[in-house]
Structures are given as C-alpha cells and as structure tokens.
Structure 1
Amino acid sequence: MQRQLKQQGFTLVEIAIVLVIIGLLLGGVLKGQEMIKSAKVKSQMQEMDGISAAFNTYQDKYGAIPGDDNNAATNTGVAGLTNGSGNGAYSGVEGDRRVWEHLEAANLLAGYTAAANGRFMNEYGQQSFFRSNYAGLSGAVVCFSLPNEVAREIDRKTDNDDGATGAVRRHNQSAYPTTAGNSWVCRAA
C-alpha cells in the first residue's frame, strides 16, 4: 500500500494576501514620508513669511531697516546692541548678523539660533542672510540655504519653479540642480 504524501506550502491565495499586505504597508510608509516632507516645506515657507513680516514690522515701527538701523540700541532699548551704518543697504556683517540681532532685540524674531558667523539657522540647520538688490531682486532680499528639492518645491509653490525668474529665485539665477546638495533661495523681504 502506497501512502500518499500531502504537500505542504502556501497557496496562491495566501501568497497574494501577503503581497497585498506588504504593498499596503509600503504605500503607507511612502505616503507618510511624503506628508512629512510636505509639512517641512510648508513650515519653511511659514518661517520665510514670518521673517518678512518681522522685517516689515521693524521698518514700520522704527522707520529704519533692521541691520542697517543706526539707532537700533535706542530704538529697541537694548544697551550694547550694535547699530548699523544707516546707509540704506546691506553688506557683510549687516546682512549676516545685525539684521537678526536687531529683529531679535525688537522681540520680532522668536527662537533665533545663530551660526558661528551670526547668521540665522533655519530648520534644516542651514544659514540665512540678507542682502540689498541681490539675485535680480530689488530692495532687501533674504536668502535661505535649503536642500535642492525643498528649494525647488518652495519656488514651485510660490510662483514658477524657475530659479531665474519670479518672486523666489536661486542666488545665481539658474535652474535648480536635480542632485543632492543645497541651493540659496532668495526672495524680497
């Protein structure tokens, strides 16, 4: 008498169910990562808006440009605060350090974290600075060092995804690289 061996293993239905579950989990993880990235971009855009609002509030309140204000210590009531030159333009330390110090002294900038050179540090751990008439934009211009994909997404959401034109521009007014790395994204304050 022959004994029939029963084969053991997974049926096609069981394998299909497992593959569907794996696909759902993978899809959920990828969607979650995309949501986190989108939230970070939105947060950076809000930070940029907040800095512009602080800049304009300082001008309205004191009649001077933060960083360039030659009466900043008197205006803000902070003894020892370094005044700007009052020449109506940013260069060097005025755009790198003093603008942030003046905004913070006026209680217009919460959570100011300074790099070694005094520049503002954004949530990506990168620096930001102010310049006059920079990147093809006129007036006071604030620039943020951001990962390339974030910089491009901010430009896309703001205007035209073109680093050379629009309200948001790349510092050298060229296209955003598709490689890893950072770009300086600039916009009028």
Structure 2
Amino acid sequence: MKRPMKRQQSGFTLVEIAIVLVIIGLLLGGVLKGQELINSARAKAMINDFRNTATMIAAYQDRFRALPGDDAGVVAHLGATAVLATTPAVRTGGLIDGDWDSVVLTDESLLLWQHLRLANLTGGNSAAPAAGNIADWPPRNAEGGRIGVQGATPIAGWPGRMFICQNNVSGRIAQQIDTTMDDGNAATGSVRFGAWATPVLVPAVPVVENTLYVACASF
C-alpha cells in the first residue's frame, strides 16, 4: 500500500524577507538622499541668483553712477535702442520703479535687465521683446521662476533700497534659502517669502513645504 506523498509548502523565510526589506530601505534612502541633494543644489543656485543680481547692479552703479533701469544717461552710456528710447523721462532717482514681475516694457524694473545686458554684466537677449513675450524676457531661476528687482518695499516697515525677488520657489527650498542667508523666519530679517498679492508680499506662516512662494531679499 502506497503512502500518501506529503506536500511541500514553499514560501519566503524570515531571512529572505529581511533581506528584501533591507534592499527596499536602501533604495528608498537613496531616492530620498538624491532628492535632498537636488533641493540643496537648487537652493544654492537661487541664493547665487540673489547675490549675483545685487553684485551686477552694484557694478553698473559703480561704472555709471546710476541704477540700471533708472539711468537718466543710459543712451549716452549704452547707446540708443528700441527699448531705451522708451525709457521714462521722469524718475524718482536712486529707486527702481515698477513691480519686480512687471510686464510693462517701460517700467524701470523691466528695463533694468536690458541695461545690465547692454553693459555686458549679464547674459541674455538685450533686444526689445515682442509684446507677447515680455514675461519670458527676464532671467529665470533653477525652478523656472522669474527673477526681478524693485525699489518699493513689498512689506511695510521692511528696510532696504532694493528688493530682489524670485517666484516658483517651493516652501522647502524657500526655508533652506532663508536659513542659509538669514534667520530662517519667513516673516522677519533680510530674506522673506510668502504669497505675492501685488504689490504686497504676505509671509508664509506657517510654511507649507509643497506650496510655491515668492522669495525676496533686501539689499
């Protein structure tokens, strides 16, 4: 009489499961670390954008004794072009008029970029853009956001003669920028970030990591 054959049960051992979990953990850790490095690189690039923009403006002012965009003698300094011919005749003097994200070609905050480019202080197209392409004319940051400058304070009581702003900045990166350059507080210090409600910056309190903000630095 034949004995019934025993069925062999197959499955993962505890050791095999442990190995799989370790591998998954290593993969997740690598992904997270990689994302952290990417965010850090983007934050550093935006910090450089703030500092380089301030340096370019200071270099222009040192060379021509006027602010780019607010230079009454810009035609004599850089030559006549289509955009320079529309430079406003009335200026406040020593202040860059217009919002940092202006799309009005005659605003000093927008002309500033052409003046810097014609002075060979930064790269980019110095020719007058077509009406529908004005928003794409200024430089962009690592997140594809716009970089701009204005003289008016975006927050009442915030001291400074010039405010450099960038948009499309995630809360995570904005917090990193603020911590590196300033006090890490979105509502105080020389670097602040939050929602932009023209012409006011509303500080992000509390900060939401995945929300996109405008970050500004005073100089």
**TM class, shorter-length:** 0.7 to 0.9
**Amino acid aligned to 1:138:** G
Greater relative CO, 1 or 2 (CA 8 Å, sep 6+)? 2
Q: CA deviation at 1:182?
A: 2.7
Structure 1 match to 2:71? 69
- 2: CA distance, partners of 1:57 / 1:168: 22
The 3 A distance-change label for structure 1 pair 63 and 69 is same
Q: What is the aligned counterpart of 2:187 among 160, 164, 177?
A: 164
Q: Which residues of structure 1 form unaligned runs of 5+?
A: none
CA contact (8 A) 2:67 2:96 kept: no
1:174 equivalent to 2:203? Answer yes
Q: How many residues were matched structurally? A: 188
Q: CA deviation at 1:19?
A: 1.2
- 1: CA distance, partners of 2:212 / 2:11: 51
**Amino acid aligned to 1:184:** V
Q: How does 1:107-186 map to 2 (within 5 A)?
A: 107-111=120-124, 116-117=134-135, 118-134=137-153, 135=155, 136-145=158-167, 146-170=169-193, 172=201, 174-176=203-205, 177-178=207-208, 180-186=210-216
Q: What is the aligned counterpart of 1:42 among 41, 44, 50?
A: 44
**Amino acid aligned to 1:5:** R
Q: CA deviation at 1:173?
A: 5.6
CA contact (8 A) 1:100 1:112 kept: no
CA contact (8 A) 1:128 1:142 kept: yes
CA contact (8 A) 1:148 1:181 kept: yes
**Amino acid aligned to 2:143:** Y
1:98 equivalent to 2:111? Answer yes
Q: What is the aligned counterpart of 1:2 among 4, 13, 18?
A: 4
Q: CA deviation at 1:112?
A: 6.2
Q: What is the aligned counterpart of 2:35 among 33, 36, 53?
A: 33
Structure 1 match to 2:217? 187
The 3 A distance-change label for structure 1 pair 112 and 30 is farther
- 1: CA distance, partners of 2:62 / 2:114: 17
CA contact (8 A) 2:170 2:209 kept: no
Q: CA RMSD in A?
A: 2.4
Structure 1 match to 2:103? none
- 2: CA distance, partners of 1:18 / 1:181: 35
Percent identity over the alignment?
34
- 2: CA distance, partners of 1:128 / 1:137: 20
- 2: CA distance, partners of 1:127 / 1:119: 7
